[in-house]
A and B are shown apart, each in its own frame.
Chain A
Amino acid sequence: MKVSTLLRFGGAAMAAALTLTACGGAQPGASGGGAPTDPITIGVSLPLTGDFSEPGKGVQRGYEAWAKAVNDKGGLLGRQVELKILDDQSNADRVVSDYESLIEQDQVDLVFGPFSTRLVVPSARVAKEYGMLFVEPAGAAAQVFEQGFDNLFYAAPAIADDHYNHLAETIIAMPPDQRPKTAAYAAMDDPFAQGTAYGLKKKLEAAGIQTVVDEVYPPNTTDFGGIAAKIRDSGAEIMVGGTQYQDAVNLIVALQQLNYQPKLAAFTTAPTNPEFPAAIGSKTEGILSPTGWTAEAKFPSNVEFVKLYTAQFGSAPSEDEANAYTTGEVVAAAVTAVGCAAQGDCQQKLIGWLRTNTVDTVVGPLSWDAQGRPQSAHLIQQYVDGKIKIVLPAESKEAEFTFPKAAW
Chain B
Amino acid sequence: MTGTLLFQSLVLGVLLGGLYALLAAGLTLYFGVMRVVMIAHSAFLVLAAYLAWDFNQRTGLDPLVSLVVTVPLFFLAGVGMQRLLIARLRPATVTMMSVLLTFAVALTIEGLLGFVYSGTQRRIQLPYSGASIDFFGARIAVVKLIAFGLAALALLGLFLVLTRTRFGQALRATIQHPQAAQLLGIDTNRIAGFGFGLGLATAAIGGTALALDSTIFPSLHWHWIGPLMAIIVVGGLGSVPGAAIAAMLLGIMQSLLQLPMGTTWAQTVFYLALFATLMIRPQGFFGGRLAQRF
**Interface members, chain B 250-294 (any A CB < 8 Å):** 254-255, 258-259, 262-264, 266-267
Assembly CA distance A50 to B1 (angstroms): 40
User: Known contacts A226-B12, A245-B215, A249-B215: does B132 contact A221 (CB below 8 Å)?
Assistant: no
Write out, one digit per residue, whether chain A residues 214-244 have a CB within 8 A of any chain B CB (1) or not (0).
0111101111011101101100000000000
A281→B220 contact, CB < 8 A: no
- The count of chain A contact residues (Cβ–Cβ below 8 Å) is 38
Contact among B8, B121, B129, B141 for A245, CB-based, below 8 A: B121
Interface size on B, residues (CB 8 A): 44
- Least CB separation from B214: chain A residue: A222
**Interface flag for A316 (CB, 8 Å):** no
**In whole angstroms, what is the CA distance A230 to B12 when docked?**
12
Chain A neighbourhood of B121, CB < 8 A: 54, 245-246, 249, 275, 279
A281 contacts across to B, CB distance below 8 A: 125, 127, 129
Residue of A222, A225, A249 touching B12 (CB-CB under 8 A):
A225
User: Closest Cβ of chain B: how far from A87's Cβ, in Å?
Assistant: 14
User: A153 → chain B, closest Cβ, in Å?
Assistant: 28
CA–CA, A303 and B264, complex, Å? 44
Given contacts A221-B267, A229-B12, A259-B139, contact A279 B223 (CB under 8 A): no
Closest B residue to A260 by beta carbon equals B139
Residues of the A chain whose Cβ atoms lie less than 8 Å from the Cβ of B141: 225, 254, 257-258
Please give me the residue from chain A that is nearest to B1 by CB atom: A233
Q: Does A250 contact B (CB under 8 A)?
A: yes
Check B130 against A283 for contact (C-beta < 8 Å). Answer: yes
Pick the contact of B263: A217, A232, A275, A280 (CB < 8 A). Answer: A217
A253 at the interface (CB under 8 A from B): yes
Residues of A within 8 A of B139 (CB): 257-259
- Give the chain A neighbours of B125 by CB distance below 8 A: 278-281
Is A233 a contact partner of B5 (Cβ separation < 8 A)?
A: yes
Does the CB pair B122–A279 fall under 8 Å? yes
A121 to chain B, nearest CB (A): 22
Q: Residue A256 contacts which of B130, B215, B263 (CB distance < 8 angstroms)?
A: B130
CB of A358 closer than 8 Å to a CB of B:
no
Q: Is the CB of B130 within 8 A of A51?
A: no
Contact B130 A257 (CB under 8 A): yes
Q: Is B9 positioned at the interface, with any CB of A under 8 Å from its CB?
A: yes
CA distance A278 to B217 in the complex (A): 15
Q: Does B2 contact A (CB under 8 A)?
A: yes
Given contact pairs A217-B263, A226-B263, A53 touches B119 in the complex (Cβ within 8 A): yes
B70 to chain A, nearest CB (A): 21
Distance to closest chain A CB from B11 (angstroms): 9
A-B contact count (CB 8 A): 114
Please, which residue of chain B has its CB at the minimum distance from the CB of A278? B125
Taken together as a complex, chains A and B put the C-alpha atoms of A54 and B118 apart, in Å, by 8
Which residues between 18 and 62 of chain A lie within 8 Å of chain B, taking CB atoms? 50-51, 53-54, 57
**A149: Cβ under 8 A from any B Cβ:** no
Cβ contact within 8 Å between A53 and B114 = yes
**Residue of B whose beta carbon sits closest to that of A54:** B119
A135–chain B nearest beta-carbon distance, Å: 26
Query: Across the interface, which residues of A come within 8 angstroms of B127, CB to CB?
Result: 281
Whether A246 contacts B132 by the Cβ 8 Å rule is no
Q: Which of A50, A53, A245, A257 has the most CB of B within 10 A?
A: A257
Say if the beta carbon of A189 comes within 8 Å of chain B. yes
Q: How far is the CA of A258 from the CA of B259 in the complex (A)?
A: 16
A253-B213, A408-B130 known; A226+B123 contact, CB < 8 A? no
Q: How far is the CA of A227 from the CA of B5 in the complex (A)?
A: 11
A177-198 contacts to B (CB < 8 Å): 189
Closest to A233 in B: B5
The docked-state distance in angstroms from the alpha carbon of A281 to that of B122 is: 12
Q: In angstroms, how far is the closest chain B Cβ from the Cβ of A265?
A: 13
Q: Which residues of B contact A283 (CB under 8 A)?
A: 129-130
Q: How far is the CA of A57 from the CA of B120 in the complex (A)?
A: 11
State how many angstroms separate the Cβ of B112 from the closest Cβ of chain A: 14
Alpha-carbon gap, A217 to B254, bound state (A): 13
Q: Does B182 contact A (CB under 8 A)?
A: no
Given contacts A53-B119, A233-B8, A246-B215, contact A223 B132 (CB under 8 A): no
Q: 8 Å CB contacts to A: which residues of B60-75?
A: none
**Could you say which of A51, A223, A246, A279 has the most chain B C-beta atoms within 10 Å of its C-beta?**
A223
Contacts of A223 in B (CB 8 A): 16, 214
Interface residues of B in 131-185 (CB under 8 A from A): 131-132, 139, 141, 143-144
Question: Of all chain A residues, which has the CB nearest B216?
Answer: A246
Q: Flag if B132 contacts A257 (CB, 8 Å).
A: yes
Alpha-carbon distance between A359 and B130 when the two chains are bound, in angstroms = 45
Complex CA distance for A325 and B138, rounded to whole angstroms: 49
Closest to A186 in B: B263
Interface residue? B4 (CB, 8 A) = yes
Query: Cα distance A249–B123 when bound, in Å?
Result: 9
Interface residues of B (CB under 8 A from A): 1-2, 4-5, 8-9, 12, 15-16, 114, 118-123, 125, 127, 129-132, 139, 141, 143-144, 213-215, 217, 219-220, 222-224, 254-255, 258-259, 262-264, 266-267
Provide 24 A-B residue pairs closer than 8 Å at the C-beta atoms, listed in order of the A residue. A53-B114, A220-B267, A222-B214, A222-B223, A226-B258, A226-B266, A227-B258, A229-B5, A229-B12, A230-B258, A233-B2, A233-B5, A246-B214, A246-B215, A250-B215, A253-B123, A256-B129, A257-B132, A258-B8, A258-B141, A275-B121, A280-B125, A281-B127, A283-B129
A53-B114, A275-B120 given; name 10 further pairs at CB < 8 Å.
A54-B121, A218-B267, A226-B12, A249-B215, A250-B215, A253-B123, A253-B213, A257-B129, A257-B130, A278-B122
